[in-house]
Structure 1
């Protein structure tokens, strides 16, 4: 295995367990606002399924600069509930804001996150490279006790470029005083993490905890973060 000097991580879906944290907050909102009363057979299962689909679609548009941060935030719940047959005037006000206030404070990370980071911290300076919003990433990291592991948290808003643009990676390299050859990137997204690392000529590890089958050409793949101890 090639010797590296620096390790880069994505945050959401890689260290911070977005699905688990988000689902818990969405369940609170669903119960508090009695959303099941807004439509026939409007179960939490249908709600979370539709939310997951819509949120993914909106983030893809945001990462391509086709919608703004405000459009992503403000339209999520309206699109979800409208798609589920709820009349717009029956949709509770403030769902998006309440979600944003609650979700960054959720603490859940993927299995073996701390053990893996404890191992890596003494060996490599590390940085987060994320397209997540600047104002919430530090809250997420503090809430999940990740802050002390990382020298830098580089957001797309801070760098001026979104993954997969190589600009966000080059900005991270400048902060670290590193070259691309000295770094390796770990992330869950082919579109942003892996393709971005390739564009920046940085080696990469695809984190695939659900063991999703694919035919992508990648350098390394892991299903549990603890496997990084064998790679690094």
Structure 2
């Protein structure tokens, strides 16, 4: 049996988040009169942010707390007199203006026929919807589900249950989760009991006890997996 429902992650799967983050930060620090802020503070920010996103995946913090706390810690570390609440909101707004498609994505979707397509992201609602709507991905997804809207995040089972309920899918064997993160996308799919495909263009070694059903290194490989047999019945 193969799949007729494909769930995609967004950041670093379909859209380049590194470029998005770079531009959003650079412009925001310039607005605050810190033209060198990106170079001066990005290293600290990435360290702080990784800890908090890991905490989010493990249920130790919430997305609302993360939104402010990452900048609160950054500004405390560097003795900057900036309101983390205001800065955090402006950062989200800047993220929403940045759309950078990963190579091969448009061609990949052009080669996918007769599939139901959904988006499942741990990002912030306003930023993620704005980026999708500003891209060639607009109108592609049957559902766009963010962790901010559901109150759950990958790898929690609940966000996958929410997605399948929205799609009115009762048979998880029809669904394939596709994303770049082993700990979020792949672990989440494994937790819920759906097949997974790890998008790994840089051919990173997997040192974790998390095994995807498939691994691909370029988008043209996905069609080879999902087009093998498409389910005839659509519920």
The TM-score bracket by the shorter chain reads 0.7 to 0.9
Count of matched residue positions in the alignment of Structure 1 and Structure 2: 222
| Contiguous gaps of at least 5 residues in structure 2 | 227-235
Displacement after TM superposition at 1:148 (Å): 1.3
Match of 1:166 in 2: 157
Match of 2:125 in 1: 134
Contact 2:30 2:37 in 1 (8 A): no
Match of 1:87 among 79, 90, 93: 79
Displacement after TM superposition at 1:104 (Å): 1.1
1-structure distance, mates of 2:193, 2:157 = 9
| Contiguous gaps of at least 5 residues in structure 1 | 37-41
Q: Secondary structure at the match of 1:73?
A: helix
Match of 1:60 in 2: 54
After TM superposition, the structure 1 = structure 2 runs for residues 79-228 of structure 1, keeping only pairs within 5 Å, are: 79-83=73-77, 86-89=78-81, 91=82, 94-120=86-112, 122-178=113-169, 179-216=171-208, 217-228=211-222
Bigger helix fraction: 1
C-alpha deviations, 1:70-91, integer Å up to 9, x for none? 32122223322433xx2243x4
Match of 1:17 in 2: 16
Deviates more, 1:93-102 or 1:142-151: 93-102
C-alpha deviations, 1:181-220, integer Å up to 9, x for none? 0111101111121111111111111112232222343221
Contact 2:29 2:37 in 1 (8 A): no
CA-atom RMSD in angstroms: 2.2
Instruction: Give the alignment's TM-score, normalised by structure 1.
Output: 0.85
1-structure distance, mates of 2:217, 2:73 = 33
2-structure distance, mates of 1:224, 1:108 = 17
Displacement after TM superposition at 1:111 (Å): 0.8
Work out whether 1:27 is the aligned partner of 2:22: no
2-structure distance, mates of 1:75, 1:160 = 18
1-structure distance, mates of 2:47, 2:150 = 28
Q: Secondary structure at the match of 2:178?
A: strand
